Structure 1
Amino acid sequence: MQVIVRDQDGIARRTSGSTTLDVPDRITLRDLISLRVREEVARYNLRPSVVFRGMVQPADAEPVDGAYRLKHVRPLDWQKQARIAHESFEHNGFFVLVGERQIGSLDEVLVVEPSTEIAFVRLVPLVGG
């Protein structure tokens, strides 16, 4: 089944357009993140460039306008990127909303329907004086 996935920053602004993912009716958050990362990396690896638009910052890349600029064009490893995403979730780098409900664990089983919207919300560090 297809669900809508979107990215937001910590103040509820969309940081990229929406995309759809084909997912089973029941999926753990860990598997959902892995699926998303695998598809992003597969799209990139079809046409590698110095700019990667995806959830996880690759090694040796720097953030630029909602994407990451790599120092060298190279294929990316989706499994490595997925592990980084899982660790980022566990260390509060982002959280996930399914509908209006925040998901608390990578191993939580999500029950999705065609109308389900999933938001990946990246937390923005506070700047202080």
Structure 2
Amino acid sequence: MPLLTILDETASGSILHRLELEIDQEMLTVGELIARRVHDEVAAYNARQTGTFQGLVQPTESERVLNGYRLRPSQLIDAEQQVYRALEAFQQNSFFVLINDRQAESLDEEVWLGEGATASFLKLTPLVGG
């Protein structure tokens, strides 16, 4: 099964977080890719339930900390709610997705994720005072 490298990057190109995701299909929609990524990171956090959650979007009732989000002890994250929040954030341009260095335009866009493919997620930070 091919591994997809996923990078969380800043606008200047600095890598904040790197993960690898097993993909069993070469073609997926952007929405399916986001959902798989979110499900994977939520499952990993829920299995360990310690430390910070380094996810694509902030879970409800969490506190933002350096390099992630802190939740109350023994609090599980709802994967479906996180997927919904992530898809909504993409549609509101809270982050961009670059697949093989090409920007994804919509959730329904099909992208190639075969061997050697990369996906970069660029989170945008709102301007203060605007």
TM-score under structure 1 length normalisation: 0.91
Counterpart of 2:47 in structure 1 is 46
CA RMSD of aligned residues (A): 1.6
Unpaired runs of at least 5, structure 1: none
Q: Percent identity?
A: 36
Query: Is 1:114 aligned to residue 126 of structure 2?
Result: no
Question: Do the aligned residues in 2 keep the contact of 1:50 with 1:73 (CA within 8 Å)?
Answer: no
Unpaired runs of at least 5, structure 2: none
CA distance in structure 1 between the aligned counterparts of 2:93 and 2:40, rounded to whole angstroms: 23
Q: Find runs of 4+ consecutive structure 1 residues off by over 4 angstroms.
A: none
Instruction: Give CA deviations for 1:77-116 in whole Å, capped at 9, x if unaligned.
Output: 1111000000000001001001120000001001122111
Counterpart of 2:60 in structure 1 is 59
What is the Cα deviation at residue 128 of structure 1? 5.0
Query: Is 1:29 aligned to residue 65 of structure 2?
Result: no
- Which stretch shows the higher mean deviation, 69-78 or 85-94? 69-78
Equivalent residues in 2 for 1:79-118 (5 A)? 79-118=80-119
Question: Do the aligned residues in 1 keep the contact of 2:39 with 2:83 (CA within 8 Å)?
Answer: yes
Question: Do the aligned residues in 2 keep the contact of 1:50 with 1:72 (CA within 8 Å)?
Answer: no
Counterpart of 1:73 in structure 2 is 74
Counterpart of 1:19 in structure 2 is 19
Question: Do the aligned residues in 2 keep the contact of 1:29 with 1:105 (CA within 8 Å)?
Answer: yes
Question: Do the aligned residues in 2 keep the contact of 1:10 with 1:124 (CA within 8 Å)?
Answer: no
What is the Cα deviation at residue 60 of structure 1? 1.1
TM-score under structure 2 length normalisation: 0.90
Question: Do the aligned residues in 1 keep the contact of 2:90 with 2:96 (CA within 8 Å)?
Answer: yes
Question: Do the aligned residues in 2 keep the contact of 1:53 with 1:68 (CA within 8 Å)?
Answer: yes
Counterpart of 2:128 in structure 1 is 127
- How many aligned positions are there? 128
